Structure 1
């Protein structure tokens, strides 16, 4: 009987904890306006490539994220906020022009490598956002674009 009581108490505690954490918010990544350092304001980005980047990269690598419905549920909201913060620390297309030329070139190399190898967008992202998956030809378009921007920077 004690074991049942302990399990019941533990379950009640977990349920109450889940309810309480719903009231602890996390920051959202929604910019009011396009940054002056935005990639497309300083470098030529063909419409097709811009569409691919926005669809497959910008949720984690820009100042504006389009959040899914489950972002309203804790602890998922915290996890998403941390994931977006991490993505922006690695690469932020909305702050790209503020990077040094060396860092821009490094980031373009990383884009090329991760897109070519199918590492980006992350599989955990494309499971939910299936339209963010990149075909081989779309990957090639992004890689070619990155090479052209590298030439502009050099």
Structure 2
């Protein structure tokens, strides 16, 4: 009886290797938008890249052990959960109030040492006190002085110090 159970378990593990979850792989473009709009400093960017983006963006770096089921399924779930709460790749879609609230939660989670999650730190290491202070300081500054994106001037042409909106139709002045 016990032998049959282990055979079924082994068979389930082998089959699960072929049933992979979708990977969280996208473009870094949306992360760049977040970094520009939130005025991320180079020091903070390094910390975010090493400790946050894997679970809180649409881009994840997958280590070798992520190819093994059931770890791959568990991590896919963790990544989806992280993105649900805060996704820097979706920063542009948040309202100003939502952005402020996300930063408020970001600060709280780091202050309470609830982020990064313990299972993540087992392999990637703890967030140092210095790095935590840098992240908190940066987020508090962003909450005090929200960054307002510059106007999009891609369709504006300056002629004799007058701005004229250009379009696909030909106009003469």
User: TM-score, with normalisation over the residues of structure 2?
Assistant: 0.79
Shift of 1:124: 1.1
User: TM-score, with normalisation over the residues of structure 1?
Assistant: 0.88
- Report the counterpart of residue 92 of structure 1 in structure 2: 87
SS of the residue corresponding to residue 60 of structure 1 reads helix
- Report the counterpart of residue 143 of structure 1 in structure 2: 136
The 2-side partners of 1:36 and 1:66 are apart by 14
Q: How does 1:57-72 map to 2 (within 5 A)?
A: 57-72=52-67
Q: How does 1:45-60 map to 2 (within 5 A)?
A: 45-60=40-55
Does 28-37 or 138-147 show the bigger shift?
28-37
The 2-side partners of 1:38 and 1:115 are apart by 23
The 1-side partners of 2:46 and 2:19 are apart by 34
Unaligned runs of 5+ in 2: 148-173
Shift of 1:97: 2.3
Shift of 1:94: 1.6
The 1-side partners of 2:8 and 2:130 are apart by 51
Alpha carbons 1:37, 1:97 under 8 Å: kept = no
Give the one of 116, 128, 145 matched to 1:152: 145
Does residue 80 of the first structure (1) align with residue 75 of the second (2)? Answer: yes
Give per-residue Cα distances to partners, 1:65-86, cap 9 Å, x unaligned. Answer: 1112111111111111111011
The 2-side partners of 1:54 and 1:74 are apart by 25
Give the one of 13, 21, 24 matched to 1:18: 13
User: Residue 36 and residue 144 in structure 1: after superposition, are their counterparts in 2 closer, same or farther (change >3 A)?
Assistant: closer
Judging by fraction of residues, say which structure has more helix: 1
- Report the counterpart of residue 124 of structure 1 in structure 2: 119
Q: What is the count of residue pairs matched by the alignment? A: 147
Give the one of 97, 111, 114 matched to 1:102: 97
Higher relative contact order (CA 8 A, sep 6+): 1
Alpha carbons 1:49, 1:142 under 8 Å: kept = yes
Give the one of 13, 26, 46 matched to 1:31: 26
Unaligned runs of 5+ in 1: 1-5
The 1-side partners of 2:31 and 2:53 are apart by 16
Q: Write out the 4+ residue segments of structure 1 that deviate beyond 3 Å after TM superposition.
A: none
Computing the radius of gyration from Cα coordinates, the structure with the larger value is 2
